[in-house]
Every structure is written in C-alpha cells, then in structure tokens.
Amino acid sequence: MIDWLQHSTGGLLTLSGLAIALLLVLIIRLKVEPFIALLVVGLTVALAAGLPVEQIVGSAQKASGTLLENGFGGILGHVAAIIGLGTLLGSILEASGGAEVLTRTLLRAFGEKRAPLAMGLAGLVFGVPVFFDIGIFVLAPLVYAAAKRGGKSIVLYALPLLAGLSVMHAFMPPHPGPVAAAGLLHVSLGWIIIMALAVAIPAWFIGGVLFSAWVGKKIVVPVPEEMLAAAEKLRGDQSRPEPPLSLVLGIIAVPLVLILSGTFGSILLPKGSAALGVFAFLGTPAVALTIAVLLAFWLLGYRRGMTREQVTELSAASLRPVAMILLVVGAGGFFGAVLSATGVGKVLSTSLADLGLPVIALSYVISCALRIAQGSATVAIVTTTGIVAPVVGELGYSQPQLALVVMAIAAGSIIASHVNDGGFWIVSRYFGLSVKETLQTWTVLETILSVVGFAVAALLSLVV
C-alpha cells in the first residue's frame, strides 16, 4: 500500500486528495489553526510519499536547504515585506481620515440619487491599500448616514461598498492573497496589478452596481438606530484637519504607478540601459511600497500633527495581525514544496492533458471547494497555489498567463461566503442584517464577484 502511494500515478493523486481531506478535518472539525494544520499536513504527506527525512527537515550535520526551510523562506522572502508595508500604508491612510475625505467627496460629486455608486467607488479606491474588514469599520458610519438621508434600504448603499472592498482585497496587491499566490507561482506583481484591474472592475460593476441596485429594492432593511449614533459622531468630529483628496489619491497611486512602470520598462526599454535600471529599482514592489509609506508618514502623519510616538504606536498596532497571515502563507509554501518534491505536479499535468481540463479551470474549482469547506480565503489561496504550482511549472506559462491563474485562484477564494467565514458575520453585524438577509445579499454578491472574476480571467487566458 505504501509503495503504491509513493510510486504510482493513482497513488500520488490519492495522496494529494487525502492531504486536502486531512487539512479540512484539522481546520473544520478539530479547529486547529490553519498554520499548524498546513504544517502537519505537509510533514505527513512528505513522510507518506517516502521523502528522506534529511530532505524534509535536515539533520544535525545539515540543517539548511531543506523543504521546510526553503518552503517557508522562499515564499516569505518574497511576500513578507510587501504585506507588511502594504499594511502600514493602509493604516496611515485610514488614521489620517483619508477614507472619510474620499467618500464624502464622492457623495457630494454624485449627489443623493447616485449615492450607492459613490459608496461603491469609495470601496473600490480605498480597497487598494486597506484590508477588507478595516474598510468596513472606517466607512460603515458613512453608509449609515447616506442610507438615512436617502430613506432607502441600507442594502442599497452597503453592497456597492462591500463589492469594491472585496474585489480589491481578493485580486489586488498588496493584499495577502494575490501577493502570496504571485510569490508561489513566481509572477511579477506588475502583471498581477494589470490583470487584477481587468478582472476586478467588471466583477465590481456587475455585482456591486447592477446586482446591488436590484436586490436593494427587494430586501428593505432600515439603518439600525444604534448605528446612527456612530454616523453622527463621525460627522461631528471636526477636531483634526482632513487631508486633501488629491493627496490621498496620490499616495494610493504611488506604489501602483511605480510597480507598473517597472513592468512596462522591462518590456519597452533596452536591456542593460541606465533607464531600465532606474525603473527596475523603483518598480520593485518592496521599494515602491517603502517610498509610498515614507511619503504617507510624512505628508499624512507628521505634517498633519501626528507625533513620532503616535506614528510608532500606529505602525506597531497595524502590524500585529499580520503575523498569523505570514505564518499561514509560509506553511502554505512548505506544503507546496512538499507536493512538488513528491512528483504530484508531473502526475497532475499528465492527467489534465488526458482530460483536456485547463489549469485555470482546475485552479478555480479547487479554490472554490476549499473556500466553501473551511471559510478562509487565505487558506484556500495558499493551498490551491501549492497544488497547482508544480503543474504550472511543467507547462512553461508566460507571466500574463501565470497572473491569470492567480486571478482564477483568487476568484475561487471569495465564492459563497457563509457562516464559516468571519467576513459574513462582520457584514451581518455592521449593517444590521439577519442571517437570512446576509445569505440573500452578501453571500450572493460574493458568488457573483467570484464567477464574473473567473469568467473574465478565463476569457483573457484565451488571448494572452
């Protein structure tokens, strides 16, 4: 039996299937932290596949170059700085009042009749640097105020905002999911940004604009009275000076423009030229984000009255939640390294060729299944990427094709948010929705964003 698992095509496929099943049992039934679960499953699969212990964890004579070290270190060396810097950028934009400035400006520009669209655009723009849940915490009071003035269902105003925040968090760097997948598949973040915009905007329009306008008329939920107090408190706080909108948008744009300039510079500029060297340096994601963070600290922090102690405290508080994300990503990198070493990648690529199933479709289906089963988008992304990375390596995909595979995985990771997803309960609590109403609105919205996002990625994969 052990020999069959280790050396036959059916055995290796069975082993990968059992690994996923074990992972789900540990996370769902036994409530094990995803980081620990991925580590345990990776070690178990490595031993079951007959990999030498020295190759897995090393020995007293040689502790470096192992799957454990390379799996963790390889991915974290790529994503840790990007995720950390992105978190810092989002925290200073949020603390400076940039979100309120952006949303209020859009509400004034679009007027009361188009306030839902303004909320959606606010979520789309502010969702680039800010985590999904933070975006809700900051912007929810503005949703309450807009819904109260409009006299309509809060669903009509909340869903466009949620759609904008969700698609940016799912598809756009520097958010952990797409950054982790890009690191595991070795794809440039410039191409990730390009494909993210191509995928996210149509998904947001169909889900956040069209679906939200329809369902907001069907499901009427008044603004919770206890939430109105928060909105009034926010509107009444004029003690701190708000940054100008142009400054907020400029700082959000800095890392995106620099990264994209590095990507296009590598295509358009001659190799070895001084200009290419400058664009390559400034377009390195960690460098681009460092520049944006320093600008934000100076222009939104120190120059607007923040002390060094306040900026330090803000930075420390914003980075604390990142630790568990990085551990999950690192453990996912180890799991992927184990699968690659066992030869599962070659077996899967051969099987897919026989079935005629595209890798992009396989990636989406696996990510959807993992998301629905255990609720965590990050776990769905890192696990799926670990499974398909060896397959992609065998096929020699280009950078744009790799970016579209990342988009498919990210799309699968947000489908059908339900009661096992923390985001489900955040939406329910902050907007006063019952479980049934949250399923009818938020869960359907996430499914639309997922399906449209994958459909666009799949169509683009036919032409790149």
pLDDT in tens, 405-432: 999 999 999 999 998 888 999 999 889 8
Same domain, 109 and 163: yes
pLDDT at residue number 64: 63
pLDDT at residue number 353: 59
> Higher model confidence: residue 64 or residue 403?
403
Q: How confident is the model at residue 336 (pLDDT cuts 50, 70, 90)?
A: confident
Q: How confident is the model at residue 230 (pLDDT cuts 50, 70, 90)?
A: low
Same domain, 348 and 301: no
Kindly state whether residue 5 falls inside one of the protein's structural domains.
no
pLDDT at residue number 237: 45
Same domain, 155 and 301: yes
pLDDT higher than threshold 70 for residue 62:
no
Same domain, 373 and 447: yes
Kindly state whether residue 128 falls inside one of the protein's structural domains.
yes
Provide the token pair at 364.
């989406």
* 87 exposure class (CB count in 10 Å sphere: 0-12, 13-18, 19+): buried
pLDDT at residue number 323: 84
**Mean pLDDT of the chain, nearest integer:** 87
CB 88 within 8 A of CB 319: yes
pLDDT at residue number 28: 84
Same domain, 106 and 173: yes
Last residue of a domain, one of 328, 355, 381: 328
Q: What are the percentages of helix, strand and coil residues in the chain, rounded to 5?
A: 80, 0, 20
Same domain, 96 and 174: yes
pLDDT in tens, 110-135: 988 899 999 999 999 999 998 898 88
Instruction: Give the contacts of 16 (CB within 8 A, at least 6 positions apart).
Output: 45, 339, 344, 348, 387
pLDDT at residue number 1: 46
Last residue of a domain, one of 278, 293, 328: 328
Q: How far apart are CA 90 and CA 151, in angstroms?
A: 32
Same domain, 278 and 425: no
Same domain, 312 and 363: no
Kindly state whether residue 195 falls inside one of the protein's structural domains.
yes
Provide the token pair at 247.
């400054």
Same domain, 240 and 351: no
pLDDT higher than threshold 50 for residue 38:
yes
pLDDT at residue number 236: 44
pLDDT at residue number 226: 65
> Residue 303: which domain range?
72-179+191-228+235-328
Q: How far apart are CA 47 and CA 387, in angstroms?
A: 17
Same domain, 154 and 291: yes
Report the C-alpha dihedral over residues 118, 124, 126, 127, rounded to 10 degrees: 140
pLDDT at residue number 117: 95
Report the C-alpha dihedral over residues 277, 280, 283, 286, rounded to 10 degrees: -100
Q: How far apart are CA 303 and CA 298, in angstroms?
A: 6
Provide the token pair at 454.
């994958």
pLDDT at residue number 385: 92
Q: For the chain, count helices (H), then strands (E).
A: 25, 0
Structural domains of the chain, count: 2
State the sign of the Cα–Cα–Cα–Cα dihedral 126, 127, 130, 135.
positive
Instruction: Give the contacts of 156 (CB within 8 A, at least 6 positions apart).
Output: 116, 147, 150, 212, 213, 216, 217
Kindly state whether residue 39 falls inside one of the protein's structural domains.
no
Q: How confident is the model at residue 332 (pLDDT cuts 50, 70, 90)?
A: confident
Q: How far apart are CA 86 and CA 292, in angstroms?
A: 9
Kindly state whether residue 65 falls inside one of the protein's structural domains.
no
HSE value, Cβ hemisphere, 13 Å, CA-based, for 165: 24
